Structures are given as C-alpha cells and as structure tokens.
Chain A
Amino acid sequence: MRKTKESKGNKGDLDFAEKRTANALYKKRAGVTESFHPVILLVYFVGMAAVTMVTLHPVLLGVSFIGAVFCTGMLTGMRKLLKSLAYSIPMLAVIAVINPMFVHKGETILFFYNNNPVTLEAILYGAAAALMIVAVFYWFKCYSIVMTSDKVIYLFGRILPRLSLVLSMTLGFVPKLKKQYKKISAAQKSMGMYASNSVTDRVLSRFRVLSALVGWALESSVETADSMSAKGYGLRGRSSYATYSWTRRDLFILVFVLLALGVLTAGMSLGAGVGFYPAFKGISAGLWDIVAYAGIAVLGLFAGLMELWENIKWRLFVSKV
C-alpha cells in the first residue's frame, strides 16, 4: 500500500503544524501573567525586548536573559525550557565565536589564528551580542505564549476594528482550510491522482490540492459574507466588543511597569555605558549605573516572580483547604 504510506506522511506534515499551533496558542494555561490586561502584556514584553535590544551592557543583558529564561520556564514548565536551552545555548556560543574571527580590534591579544589576532574584547563583544539576541528571542517566546490570538485581535480592534475583524476571520479560516486540505488530499488520492511516491508527484499533488482548495474556499466564503451582511455588517459605527476590562490590579501593574520602564530608561541613558574597544570598560557603579541595574532587576524578574508567587500562593492555599 504505497498510497496509505504517503497519505500518512502527508498527514504528518499538517499534524506537525497542528502541534505547533497547540503549543503556541490553544493549550490551557493558568499562568497569572496571562490574566493581565493585553495592553500590559504588550508594554511589558515588547518593552523588555526593546530595552534588551538597545544595550550591550553585560550586567543588563545578563539580568534580562535570566529574567526571560525564568519567565519562559514558569510559563512552559521546566522540561520544555531545558529542551529549548539545549538549542539556544550552542547558538549563543556560535555567535560569540564568530565575532572575533571578523573583528581584530582590542588590546588584549589572546592568540593568533591564521595570522590574525584573536582578542578578548572581540570575544566579549560577540558574547554580549549573542546574549542580547538570545534574550530577545526568549522575551518574544514569552510574548507569543501569553499574547493569545484573542488578545491580538482585541489590541487591533481598539485602533483598527476592520483589520481586527479580518484577522479574526482569517484565524477562523486557517483550521477550516487545514481540515478541508486533508479531505481534498484524501479524495484526490483515492482517485489515484498523482498518487505515486515520486518527489514530483508529491509536490505536484500539493499544488493541485492547494488550487482546488482556493476554489472551494472562495466559493463557500460567499455564504460567510452573506451571513455577515445578514447580521448587519456594513452599518455605520461598528463597535468592537472588548472581553478584557481594566481591573484595579491591572492599573497598579501598568503604573508600576511604566514607572519601572521610565526609571530603567533614565538609568540606561545617563549611566550604564559600555565600551569594548580598545579595552573593555563598563561595569561601573555610579548612581545612574545602579539605577539602571536596579531597574532591570526589578522589571526583568517581575513576570517570572509573579508566576512563582502565584504558584506558592496556590500551594499554601491548597494546603490550607
């Protein structure tokens, strides 16, 4: 049964996609961060990523990295975190090593490689840049986990209601299209169309199925459009239903996050300067440096600590019951 094997393979591809989807989107989570108002999540996670992107200061990056990894761990669980670290730490090392191969500035020459000096400063610079990239990666990973599709739609809906509706419709479409793709694929195979195991047939059959799918989707979506019109789409003054409302806790957190971001920004712009060439200088302890260190420590660990505290609280709560 060549065919069954192949259809299985095909199914596998989409299932891979589905698993990604499930991980990224739909798994039930009980994280407390997730219950924050979407605006807070946007400000906090994008803010952390942005702050991380604009510095090469080892202390700031180190704390940011720890905060991001801590938060990811709290959100995904230890096992998944370790798995992803197994990928990202070697990546970090590779980026760190690449820089000294290109850059030969710096006064501390460690050794010569291909008649070029390899300097400590270049290695440090590479390490800092790598740490930055990995930290940003983890902040966005957290962001992707907590910012579910509903929240994306909500945020868009506040400023761009029509675009947010198209977004919601598309998100409804994708699983539907996926199901239909599988059905068409099976039906075509059971007619023996492009069903051999050769690479060309396997690729060509995907094109055919995709093309049939477009036809089906366009034709059947007309009914969807009619259903929209029937429910009054196109009337003037469309509103966007908000399932998220501001609680007092949310307001406190927002004020806190904004204040901390402000302090951190001030600290970073007035202190926490860093230079790598010709000699590394940066880890100083002036007033503004300390403000910046404090700011990033408070802000960077905030989400992870909130999650941890919530866990402890539930443990205590359960033990009391």
Chain B
Amino acid sequence: MEEQEKSLSRRQKVKRVLTPVVFFVLIPLLLALGVWAFGDRSYNLIAAAVALLACVPFFVSFERRQKTSREIMVIAVMTGISVLGRFVFAPLPGFKPVTAVVIIAAISLGGEAGFIIGALSAIVSNIYFGQGPWTPFQMFSWGALGFLAGLAAKITVPDKEGGRISVMEKRWALIVAGIVGGALYSMLMDVWTVLAAEGTFGLPRYWAAVAAALPWVIVYAASNIVFLLLLTKPFVKKLERIKIKYEIFTIK
C-alpha cells in the first residue's frame, strides 16, 4: 500500500511537470513550425490554437485546486443546464441561453467556476451539435465571459438600505452584460469566419464581417438580455441557497 502511494505520487509529479511542458513548450513550438512551414496561410490554425491555449491556465488551476465533490457537482449541473437550454430554445434561431447561464453561474460561483462552466458548455454542447474548428473559439469566448462576469460580480455598489450589493444585481449591469456577451461572442466567432475565408487577418475584411454579422449581434444581445433579466433572480436565489446550505464556494 505504502509502495503504491509513493509510486502514485511520483506519477502524479511527473504529470504535473509534463502538463505545462506540453502546453507551454510543445504546442508553441508546433505553432512556430507551422508559421515557418506555411507562412501566411497558417493564421487560421494559429488562432484556433491560441484560443485553446488561452483556456489551459484555467484548466490547470481547476485541476490543482482541491474541490469538494459538492462543488464539482454544482459545476456539472450548471454546465448541464446551459447545454439543455440550447436544446430547449433550439427552435428559436439565435436564442442560445448558454451565455446567460454561464454569466449567472459565474455571478454566484465566481470567475473560475464561470470559466470552467463556459468552456465545458462549449465542448459538451458541441458533442451533441457537432464539433468544428469553431469549438476552441466557443470554449474561449464562453469561458472568458464567465470569468469576466465572475470578476464583475465582486464589484459592489451601495444599495437602497445603505449596505453594499454586487453590481451584477443591478438591472443595468445585466443589460450591459448581455450586450457585451452578445458582441464578444459574435466578434470572436467572426475572427474565425474572416480567417477561414481570407487566410490572413485583414482588418478591413474583419470590420466587413463584423458589420455583416450585426443583425446576429443584435439577436444575441437581445436574447441575452431577455435571458439575463428573467433568469438571473431565480437562478441566483437557488444557487445561493445551495451555497449556504452545503457550505460550498464560500471562501474565494
């Protein structure tokens, strides 16, 4: 038993060293090789790889942190809900509650959990809806939205009774979050569109793509606002109850 423990921890240690090596040395090396070999045409690929790489620090820190089974569970549940939301609202084009659910979860559970829920929502929902070169961009954009929402929720403003409440409890903040969410998601996805069509990243072409996508940005933003305004209160209430009842996600 002792022996086993030891060898295990050694294996664990090797892994701990290896993971950052793979991500921070090997993959950039491959990218450099790609640029050298293919020149201009490789931006497309590099952008995807960069989006993926940007997720890595969050994933690694999630692996390292000692999380209780209940915290893990809540993360899995919220990811499941955001994926289910995509199914439920599938008949309405552009109505994807994923962004809203990720933002709400992040408000209550913090930025780190928000990132994980966002990135995992992309992976899982694409297992159902089909993976593609867009997967890394979705992972990063939903993850980043979660992370930002988590950070924003820490900013407090005075409330009516003289105490301080999180800024994210304000209506206007939710509306801003909805717009930012819609725009960011669309802009990041448009990066991919442009790169796919053009190969290189031309700013004029990019703005053209963004302009072309404007109707979608409006739909995304509007649906986000609707989702956020309607769902934030009940969802946060339920999450807060669980947090208090089971003493999870308390110390940040």
Contact = CB atoms under 8 A, between A and B. Distances in A.
When A and B assemble into the complex, do they touch directly, with CB atoms less than 8 Å apart?
Answer: yes
Interface of A: 13-14, 16-17, 20-21, 24-25, 49-50, 53-56, 95, 129, 132-133, 136-137, 140-141, 143-144, 147, 149, 152, 159-163, 165-167, 169-171, 173-174, 176-178, 181, 203, 206-207, 210-211, 213-215, 217-219, 221-222, 224-226, 228-229, 233-234, 236-237, 239, 265, 268-269
Contacts of A222: 70, 73, 242, 246
Nearest to B75: A166
Contacts of A162: 62-63, 67, 72
B238 A237 contact: no
Interface centre among B45, B73, B116 (most CB of A within 10 A): B73
A54 B22 contact: no
A176 B84 CA distance: 10
Contact of A170 (B15, B59, B79): B79
A218 B238 contact: yes
B29 interface: no
A166 B231 CA distance: 24
B116 A221 contact: no
Contact of B89 (A129, A206, A211): A206
Interface string B68-85: 111011111101110111
Interface of B: 5, 8-9, 12, 15, 19, 22, 34, 36-38, 41-42, 44-45, 59-60, 62-63, 66-70, 72-77, 79-81, 83-85, 87-92, 97, 116, 120, 123-124, 126-133, 196-199, 230-231, 234-235, 238-239, 242, 246
A211 B84 contact: no
B38 A54 contact: yes
A157 B193 CA distance: 31
Nearest to B129: A20
A53 B130 contact: no
Going nearest first, the 9 A-B pairs with the smallest beta carbon separation are A173-B80, A269-B37, A169-B76, A228-B69, A17-B87, A237-B8, A225-B73, A225-B70, A211-B234
A284 B4 CA distance: 60
Looking at chain A's contact residues, the main secondary structure is: helix
Contacts of A236: 8-9
B76 A234 contact: no
Contact of A136 (B80, B88, B133): B133
A24 B127 contact: yes
Contact of A218 (B120, B123, B196, B239): B239
Contacts, number: 189
A265 B36 CA distance: 11
Contacts of A214: 77, 81, 234-235, 238
Contact of B45 (A50, A133, A174, A218): A50
Contacts of A95: 197
A296 B34 CA distance: 17
Contacts of B242: 218-219, 222
Nearest to A159: B19
B59 A144 contact: no
Given A174-B124, A177-B80, A207 B231 contact: yes
Nearest to B38: A54
